[in-house]
Amino acid sequence: MKTEVVTVRLRPEVKARLKVLAEATERTPAYLVSQAIEAYLTEQE
């Protein structure tokens, strides 16, 4: 699947939480953000 790059600005504490979750789940921060955006879009559409 082709992907595109998107840049977002996060508060430092949110970025830190994302890093902790990524390490705990053995996923990349990019994967977690992508999944969260997809879930949000599905919910909102």
Q: Each residue of 1-45: pLDDT tens digit?
A: 899 999 999 999 999 999 999 999 999 999 999 999 999 999 999
Helix (H) / strand (E) containing 6:
none
Inside any domain, residue 5: no
pLDDT number for residue 14: 98
Asked if 4 and 11 touch (Cβ cutoff 8 Å), the reply is no
Token pair 């789940």: residue:
25
Inside any domain, residue 2: no
Provide the domain limits for residue 30.
12-44
Q: 18 to each of 25, 28, 31, 36, how far by Cα in Å? A: 10, 9, 11, 11
For residue 36, give the CATH number of its domain: 1.10.1220
Inside any domain, residue 6: no
Q: Determine the number of helices (DSSP H) and then strands (DSSP E) in the chain.
A: 2, 0
pLDDT number for residue 1: 85
Q: How many domains does the chain have?
A: 1
Inside any domain, residue 26: yes
